[in-house]
Structure 1
Amino acid sequence: MAQYIIGVDVGGTNTDAVLLDLTKTGPEAVVASHKATTGTDVTIGIEDAINVLIQKTAIPLSQVASLMIGTTHFINAVVERDASRIEPVAVLRLASNDFTASTPPFIDFPAALKRIMNGHSAFVSGGIQIDGSLIDKINRDEILAQAKIIKEKALRNVVVVGIYSPSDEDERQEYQVRDILTETLGKGTNIVCSRDIAGTGILARENASILNASIFHFAKRTITGFKRAMKRLNLTCPLYLTSNSGQLLSASEAIRYPVQIFSSGPTNSIRGAAFLSTALDADTSRYVIDIGGTTTEVGCLLPSGYPRLASAFSEIGGVRVNFAMPQVESTGFGGGSIISTLSNGAIKIGPESVGQALTQKALSFSGDTLTATDILVAAGEGGIGHVKPEIDAATILAVKQKMKKMLGDCVDRMKTSPESCHVILVGGGAFLCPSELEGVAKIERPFHAGVANAIGAAVAEIGATVEVIVDTEKKVETLVEVRERAISQAVQKGAKEGAVRVLEEVVAGLPYIDAKCKVSVKVSGPIDYEKVLELDNSDEVYVEEEAHYEVKQHISENVAVEDVVDFEMYKPHVDIERIWHLSETDLLFISIGCYILGCAGGGSSYTKYLEAREVLRSGETMSLISISDLAPDAICPPLSGVGSPAVGVERPGGLLVKHALETMEKHLSIQYGAMLAVEIGGGNGLEPLLWASSKYYNVPCVDGDLMGRAFPSFEKITPYVSAQNINELLPVALSDGNGTNIIMTTAKDTYAVDNVLRAAVVTMGSAAGGVSRPLSGAELKKVGVPNTHSLAWRLGRAVTRAQSTGRVSSVSDDIIREFGGRESASKVFSGKIVAVGQTLYKGHSYGNLVIERLQSYEMEAGEKEDEGPERVEIPFKNENLIIEAHYASGERKILATVPDLIMVLDTLTGESVGVPEYRYGLKVMVLVAAAHPLWTSSQRAIDIVGPRAFGYDLDFKPFGVFKEVKSVIDEFAPVV
């Protein structure tokens, strides 16, 4: 059997290679290594590095079992906004009836990147409901018309994204559109169907698909170059590329799905650092700083030897996607970073880089461009180049201070505790790091650190993931089948049979969908080198001889740059008339806080934040007014999105609520004076801000709501506490945004209302806009929960401040303070999600979240084992209902129940984790806060929203004492 493997990492500046001996482990396995310059044709660097390895060791080529390549080449192109490597994309979204219209493609792209990639976008007929039924059919004439526009714009990359396309097994609409486009545009056009790229979550899936399409041709040129290099080197072993998760893809897979290898470099560096480190404190978390030629990435190495995973969403080059990737902070700073001075005298480092031209353009190599490397060489610390640049001492000092701050800030953003940490320094630009960094106790510079990324690539494994949706009653046997399928797939791809291990198993109920659950299994195993040669024969070999030279092109026109906000000093704008005029920063704070107050329900507020921000950026305004300032006769419609928040993940935006408002307005012949949120929790907390804005009704929104949180059913609002019967809450208007509008005027009882509305919403695609009987200002002062937008703003501000200053580990203290202190709120548990399943209670199907206390080896530096329960279980029905603690002694104890607020927060970000984001392995903390007295001061209220209202035979015991929230308007209004 072949004895050696070669790992290569292709960066923007350097290509690193390492030869490992399969019969050894640890640093001793490194037989030889080499660093070469990445040429304008990336294959040159690969050839040079591998040639040197072979010459150094004189090993027979037949003894090379495989070649693994990892690269930061693609992310470098995005970070640098390089128009020679990333291309414009046309996006066709299949979304009829204005569904998703207020969240258009590229809505959350960085401005400079959007300017390059946004070639064209359009909404066309199509889309699938959550249950698989049609929203609308594909209109062939529309697609042909779009194809004509795409051809006229000379675009060669197209993304097709349809609502709920990942579950569209009958119509397969994206494939229909792809085939029509191919007829007109030809097979040479790169058409990406979003269902092939990522799962549910239309914006994140669309973003990933755009990146995949934009980078496709550059990826094909790059990987073709890799195969050409192998051919010239007479290497006949298989070629693999490392994916974002650290597992391996064949060359042909990587060409089709380049976004999956988009950010593999940081993963390889972290794994390589673990392989090389000889530190004795490997039982604690450490941070890996990888300084390359163009970028620096910082990741967290857990005691397990694997990277810390990101939260439910990740960012690639500033673009939000829903891939599972290691959490990495990236900054445009490396050895080739260009140093410049701004008009105000400040030093600017990167993100522009000379990249692979370092040895031609840098001053220390007789070039004419000042780079970060030149600063260290001039200071006598670089040890490379053949010229010592003449740079004045003041400039050297200023640049070195800027470098130290950039690196320190990057580490701070990764840390979840202000305590000093241990850093492992790797990468070819490691010499740029100073001997000390703020907040870092120890900096380890291991042997072979310069090629840690290549080592990480070499030790990667082959994996597979299988995910299916099945009937809940079949979940046990399905788990066994899915596990076998995943293992079989890994073996078929080249993993060693019998050595494949399960990394993750998830059996999770689908939120709000009865009798269905998701079963997912992820596996990984080492390569079986005895059979990979045979498998590789089926892989396409690229033999084109034309060399492609990457000449960078930067968009020089001015692009919008978002202002940097000092969150510590920020103050909202409240005018003399006590009107709170919202800014983008206010919206950010409110959106984060609303999701926390949703108690895992209410739907993510992120897309509503994007919608509202888009309204402000278009020049419109929106404002809030205190309940106490409302005129007694002001007409305030309680409005919300109704149905499953899971639909909002695929159908963000739309005019459903607007149509419901118009339906109610016409039915009652009234004129609205202010908009009112039914629930502050989740996306519905921001919903009234949109329709109150100057773009639509041009009225203020009330700072308050009718829940003080989120609840799952119509009658669970504060006006019902004092109502004699359900008809006092009627009429209610519903709209599907697709031409169907209904008014329910009377009902015999609460159950009739719930059943009718639920049935109507299901027929509307499990999502509708809803408006309840409007309340007068006088009524609202009696039954409304005041200042809930103020509370959301304060919670969001606390989280954002903690994130920006590296204090996330203590953010729970800040949140508790905003709720009124420890008499009102508390952190009751922290740990890791280990299961998200279904449980039956009195015939009802509820979700059940299980969180276990972290084991010592899973904890990060500074974390301590808490005394208390071994695990907690949190049943949920849209929102979290109960916390049941399980102790090592076998004792069980109820820690909290509804209507008190039970919140699950991500320990890495401090932000809320909603039911759709519940997943295995996520580290979370559980907080409880006292509910508003309108829900706790009478038996009538407890009967409506207490544990028995959800089927649990438990008495409600208040967790704490509610403290009034100080209004933002009261605090910041000018003193008259």
Structure 2
Amino acid sequence: MKTPHLRIGVDVGGTNTDGVILNPEKSSGPDRGIVAWKKASTAKNPSDGIFNVIREMFEQSNVDAQDVASVTVGTTHFINAVVEMDRSRLAKVAIIRLCGPFSKDIPVGIDWPPKLRNIICAYRGLVDGGLEIDGSLIEELDEEALLRECEIIKSQGIKSIVVIGIFSPIDIVYRQEERAASIIRDTYPEADVVLSKEVAHIGFLERENAAVLNASILAFARYTIHSFQEAISRLGLRCPVFITQNDGTILPASSAARLPIRTFSSGPTNSMRGAAFLTKDLENREAMMVVDIGGTTTDVGLLLPNGFPRQAAAYSEIAGVRTNFSYPDVKSIGLGGGSIVRRAEGGDLTIGPDSVGYLIQEKALAFGGTVPTTTDYTVLDQPTLGIGDLSLLEKANIAANLPGFKAKVKLMLERIIDTMKTSPNDIPVVLVGGGAVIAPDNLLGASRVIKPNWSGVANAIGAATARVSGVVDFVASTESKSVAQVIEEVSQSAIDKAVANGAARQTVTIAEVESFPLQYIANKSRVVVKAVGDFDYSRTDLLSSTAPVDGDSPLKCQGMDAMEFGRDSIGTELVEESAPSVKQTTVTTTVGIGNYKPNVVNRQWMLSETDLDWVTTGCYILGTGGGGSPYQHMLRLRELLRAGATVRIVSPWDLRDDDIVACGGGKGSPQVSIEKPYGNEILESQKELYDYLKVQPTAVISLEIGGGNGLQGLVLGASSNMDIPTVDGDWMGRAYPVSHQTTPVVYETKATMIPSCIADGNGKVLLMTKARTELDAERAFRAALSTMGSHVGCAKGPIRGADAKRWVVENTVSLAWRIGRAVARARAANQVDAVAESIVEEVGGERSARVLFRGKIIGVERVTKMGHAYGEVVIESTAATAVETATGSEKINTSAAAERLIIPFKNENIYAKKTSASVMATNPFSPKQILAIVPDLVCVMNAQNGEAIGIQEYRFGLLVVVIGITASEKWTSTQRGIDIGGPKGFGFDDLEYVPLGKFTKPKSVIDEFDGAV
């Protein structure tokens, strides 16, 4: 009996379905082992397209079906169902959270587009359960409550259920999600149950979002994958069917039917994996840029030396839903074979972003149409391609535009390549896709341009050659083991997981390793390891191609006959959903932003959702890398606004001297807040403190404006049990690692905010009634953190209104609002490149702030000492930068030297030092090279969207812009302020504070808009 040895790869795209038959035993030969290939228009029913492409390849090559070992399919079909918000393909989902007292105020789909939320998010149940970050229990699983939730869900006829537990990805002892799923299946066997830990990793809300999307398309995925299997069976094939994942590896069809979300971005990944295969004989495998030029867009991604695409940052968005599962870092521009070419009013040539798409043979000039496209210009430039009718192009009289067209295409490609590069050095560029012929043979920034044979079907080749993976994301103890030993153990777990997923053990290697020490948690590190290997074809348990996927009863595919495989136009056949009735005044256009006025009445600023968006953006930028992301707190405050709460902001100068001003916020590790949603800990700490004091506050102020705590004062003020105004100011004017680095400590040597209280929201409350200094109180509370879940709500003792006016860093909520407005304006005007300069203007202009640096992160080092995240980030300037001229045309500036900026951090950025490799080697601590230093603010922002980047988000290759802002005179007017908030306060006793500029007091929103109409 013959041993099957051929592999078939099929990639179903929006325009074309590509296929290839590959003999891996001959992949090193000149033909790469490619037996046959085919490119055809995508059919409305993708299973028909798969059938036709494979049948035609069989006819080309006379391949015997018995010689085929596997068929691997890449498809965007499942993500299309979500993007199109097609209710015929999306099921309603119930969510059961194993969460103890946490997340009760967070609705499911809190940050989803309302239309999609209304289609999918049907029910939420809360059950005791969940873990702390150290693996201890928040609560035991409440099985009786779980059974009650099952009955409610069953009574509502919901058949897709998600189970999500706090810190479930590290739960290897109690296995609460697995236990809950078992109980649900016994009680409600007709239901599909999705475990969140099988879908994504650490990050509660994002993991829940991904799990809910996955659950919603399960029935459709089963139906679709079963149709794929049937099409392959009709061809006489009796081999396993695989589906490609987002990370360039494969899932057996049965697993893909359980986890269809893992296939959402397999198209670009397949092209990159195909490029890796077609260039594998190059010496000294190095990182390469893959440029996939299709009919409408060009997708660009970085192929790492391990042959897999670089993954995106912690979060990615799908149809407006924020998720955290593995996703390739791919950027797209509107350049493809069908892109429309025009002459702009100013005389410059424009290409795209609109395209004639699959109608190219009707619309393009070369085929008798009337629309000039990139294909037309390419055929004119390369007549030997033999595409279309050259005489039609000569009649169209477009030859005069050809030089400008070629220059524009070259510039567009060079700019996107430069954006995706991780260093200024030249890098190999691989061109793939059907539109690759439009690209030139030389590109600035490319060490060489490679156009491999069969590049037009690289996506299908990537599918045929995809491997099996196993990923482990775990929080491990380093108390008795070194980090290296922990990584070795987690790596072995990843290898075992890859083998369990179908990899042959002898082929498995470690592809990626990441390690993050956790703040405020002794001897704990988060370790993420990915292992990959070739599929083990002896695994008969994974090879069935004709049985129903996942062993499901055929009943679970009933009702699918009405499902449609595609839409002629996105969303046009859907019934419009009305959004919930909410108070919402979000401004999205430059005209709207320019005309928008905040609501200030009688010197009280009533916060709107637009204001909240802008303040949130500004708070994170003012966090100088620390303070934690304000995203979750923004969602909480937005829900309060939509429920009818009023957020009132008052000027510190309108406080009465005898006012009682409360203060509070979160204290602890940002890694905890990412996974453990807020409960009642912030409000609980306030209640316990003021019950003890037997007084009630009349106003509240944020401890720090930077990061998540910048919104906590607003949350406290808006809460129903406080309902007091929030002061437009804070005690830092930024974020600092510890709460004794505050302006009250600058002005008073004794403890001024004692008594203080911390609460973990789960029954533990610590009240400190006496302390000599704020530093003593800080040390005691930090010591208690690890036994309270490493994250608590903190209520600082009240301050008299008279003292608040002496100590406050004033108008910082106004400052955050103005910074956020500047970012919103830049985005709306498509001028994000200039957002840093806009922020500089908002904080006082060049005398008070400046743009320090632009470049890419090329190195990050992190360690944890005494509960704080220490380290440094290294940013390198870009040697070649695309810039726009005053007329709107573009040019490349190649004169910029490759310089470096080094930013040490201790939870927050400490200073910014400009240098070069040679200077780093000779005199790395030269004060003359320091551009800005604490207490002045060093803010790192994402150059592509203007958002702040926290130190936990620093990663290799990220494009950033760094700005410096002069600190408030509350820090710089006295030596004590400089000692506490300056370099000595961070342990840099050998460095002196040199002001960046002259402080400009932020302009009050209340003063500007009071009574404005």
Q: 2:145 aligns with which of 121, 142, 145?
A: 142
1:81 aligned counterpart, secondary structure? coil
CA deviations 1:637-687 (Å, max 9, x no partner) are 112122223222123332222222333333334343322101111111111
Cα distance between partner residues in 2 of 1:335 and 1:190: 43
Distance in 2 separating the partners of 1:484 and 1:124? 34
User: What secondary structure sits across from 1:119 in the alignment?
Assistant: strand
Moved more, 484-493 or 587-596: 484-493
Classify 1:774/1:829 alpha carbon distance in 2 versus 1 (closer, same or farther; 3 Å). same
Residue 174 (1) aligns with residue 177 (2) = yes
Aligned partner of 1:657 in structure 2 is 682
Distance change >3 Å, CA 869–CA 329, structure 1 → 2: closer
> Relative to 1, partners in 2 of residues 1:929 and 1:904: Cα closer, same or farther, differing over 3 Å?
same
How is 1:303-382 mapped onto 2 (pairs within 5 angstroms)? 309-327=311-329
Whether the 8 Å CA contact 2:620–2:706 is kept in 1: the answer is yes
CA contact (8 A) 2:520 2:786 kept: no
Aligned residue for 1:661, secondary structure, equals helix
- Relative to the length of structure 1, the TM-score reads 0.81
Taking a change above 3 Å as real, the CA distance of residues 275 and 642 of structure 1, as seen in their structure-2 partners, is same
Residue matched to 1:509 = 517
Pair 417,276 (structure 1): closer, same or farther in 2 beyond 3 Å: same
- Which has the higher mean CA deviation after the structures are superposed, 116-125 or 221-230? 221-230
Instruction: Provide, for residues 303-334 of structure 1, a one-character-per-residue CA deviation record: whole Å limited to 9, x for no partner.
Output: 87976643321012221011232345799999
Pair 1:538–1:663, CA change in 2 (3 A)? closer
| Sequence identity percentage | 38
* Residues 522, 867 of structure 2: 8 Å contact kept: no
Note the C-alpha offset of 1:869. 5.1
* Structure 2: segments with no counterpart, 5+ residues: 280-285, 339-356, 376-408, 421-428, 439-449, 549-553, 565-570, 884-890
Q: 1:947 to 1:625 in 2, by over 3 A?
A: same
Q: 1:773 aligns with which of 797, 800, 808?
A: 797
In structure 2, the partner of 1:242 is: 244
Q: Which residue of 2 aligns with 1:875?
A: 905
SS at match of 2:482: helix
Measured after TM superposition, the shift of residue 415 of structure 1 is: 10
CA contact (8 A) 1:898 1:956 kept: no
Paired residues for 1:658-697 under 5 Å: 658-693=683-718, 695-697=720-722
- Taking the aligned partners of 1:331 and 1:797, their CA distance within structure 2 comes to 27
**Does 865-874 or 737-746 show the bigger shift?**
865-874
User: What SS does the corresponding residue of 2:537 show, helix, strand or coil?
Assistant: helix
State the AA in 1 paired with 2:659.
A
Q: Indicate conservation of the 8 Å contact 1:819/1:825, yes or no.
A: no
Alignment of 1:802-951 (within 5 A): 802-823=826-847, 824-828=849-853, 830-838=855-863, 846-851=869-874, 853=876, 867=897, 870=900, 872=902, 874-876=904-906, 878-883=907-912, 887-889=917-919, 890-891=921-922, 892-893=924-925, 895=930, 896-951=932-987
**Which is further off, 818-827 or 444-453?**
444-453
Aligned: 1:123 with 2:126: yes
Match of 2:996 in 1: 960
| Cα 1:482/1:852, change in 2 over 3 Å | farther
Distance 2:762 2:335 in 1: 49
The aligned runs of 1:80-229 (5 Å cut-off) are 80-97=84-101, 99-186=102-189, 188-229=190-231
Give 2:463's match in structure 1, choosing from 457, 461, 464.
Answer: 457
- In structure 2, C-alpha distance between the alignment counterparts of 1:517 and 1:864, rounded to whole Å: 42
Distance between the aligned counterparts of 1:611 and 1:44, measured in 2?
A: 47
How far, CA to CA, are the matches of 1:500 and 1:924 in structure 2?
36
Kindly indicate whether the alpha-carbon contact (under 8 Å) linking 1:103 and 1:607 is maintained by their aligned counterparts in 2: no
The 5 A counterparts of 1:241-260 are: 241-260=243-262
Unaligned runs of 5+ in 1: 337-354, 366-371, 384-406, 434-443
Where does 1:599-748 land on structure 2 (aligned, <5 Å)?
599-693=624-718, 695-726=720-751, 728-748=752-772
- Contact in 2 for aligned 1:675/1:699 (Cα 8 Å): yes
Name the CA shift for 1:112/1:814 in 2 (closer, same or farther; >3 Å): same
State whether residues 88 and 155 of structure 1, in contact with CA within 8 Å, keep that contact through their aligned partners in structure 2: yes
Partners of 2:577 and 2:336 lie apart in 1 by 24
Q: Is the 8 A contact 1:314 1:325 kept in 2?
A: yes
Shift of 1:146: 0.7
Q: Give me the TM-score of the superposition, normalised by structure 2.
A: 0.78
Preserved contact between residue 129 and residue 164 of structure 1 (Cα < 8 Å): yes
CA shift at 1:837, angstroms? 2.9
Partner Cα separation in structure 2 for residue 564 and residue 27 of structure 1: 58
2:877–2:897: 8 Å Cα contact kept in structure 1?
Answer: no
Change over 3 Å in CA distance of 1:302–1:133 after alignment to 2: closer
The change in CA–CA distance for 1:481 and 1:672 in structure 2 (over 3 A counts) is closer
The corresponding residue for 2:478 is 471
Offset at residue 803 of structure 1 (A): 3.5
Per-residue CA deviation, residues 799-832 of structure 1 (Å, 9 max, x unaligned), is 3333444433443333333333344343246322
- After superposition, give the CA deviation of every residue in 1:592-627 in whole Å (9 maximum; x if it has no partner): 111121122212100111111112222333232222
Letter in 2 for 1:622: V
Corresponding position of 2:424: none
- 2:59 is the counterpart of 1:59: no
Displacement, 1:701? 1.6
Moved more, 54-63 or 152-161: 54-63
Aligned with residue 609 of structure 2, among 584, 599, 620: 584
CA shift at 1:850, angstroms? Answer: 3.7
1:387 alignment partner in structure 2: none
Query: Do 1:299 and 1:414's aligned partners in 2 also have CA atoms closer than 8 Å?
Result: no
Kindly indicate whether the alpha-carbon contact (under 8 Å) linking 1:836 and 1:919 is maintained by their aligned counterparts in 2. no
Partners in 1 of 2:599 and 2:823 — Cα distance?
22
Paired position in structure 2 for 1:566:
589
1:46·1:229 contact (CA, 8 Å) conserved in 2? yes
Superposed CA deviations along residues 835-894 of structure 1, whole A, max 9, x for unmatched, are 443266xx8875323435378799999686864655635232x32334566733403126
Assess, with a 3 A threshold, how the Cα gap between structure 1 residues 26 and 464 changes in structure 2: closer, same or farther: farther
The verdict on how the C-alpha distance between 1:557 and 1:676 changes in structure 2, with shifts beyond 3 A counting, is same
User: Which segment is superposed worse, 282-291 or 929-938?
Assistant: 282-291
Whether the 8 Å contact between 1:311 and 1:906 is mirrored in structure 2 is no
Change in CA separation of 1:283 and 1:543 when aligned onto 2, cut-off 3 Å: closer
Q: Counterpart in 1 of 2:1008?
A: 971
CA distance in 1, matches of 2:737, 2:675: 20
What is the CA deviation profile of residues 396-426 of structure 1, one whole-angstrom value per residue up to 9, with x for unaligned ones?
Answer: xxxxxxxxxxx9xx999989989xxxx9999
The one-letter code sitting in structure 2 at the alignment partner of 1:967 is S
Q: Per-residue CA shift, 1:493-537, capped at 9, x if unaligned?
A: 677999877654323212322222233344556x57xxx433466
Spell out, residue by residue over 1:68-123, the C-alpha distance to the aligned partner (whole angstroms, 9 max, x if none).
211100011001111222211110112222x2122221111111111111121122
Distance change in 2, residues 1:461/1:169 (3 Å):
closer
Q: Which amino acid aligns with 2:326?
A: A
2:393 alignment partner in structure 1: none
Cα separation, 2, equivalents of 1:775 and 1:827: 37
The total of aligned residue pairs comes to: 903
Instruction: Give the aligned partner of residue 264 of structure 2.
Output: 262
Q: Using a 3 Å threshold, how does the CA distance of structure 1 residues 694 and 237 change in structure 2: closer, same or farther?
A: closer
AA aligned to 1:941 is G
Q: Report the Cα distance in structure 2 between the residues aligned to 1:817 and 1:130, rounded to whole angstroms.
A: 42
Alpha-carbon distance in structure 2 between the residues aligned to 1:639 and 1:26: 68
Whichever residue aligns with residue 758 of structure 1, its letter is R
CA distance in 2, matches of 1:863, 1:807: 18
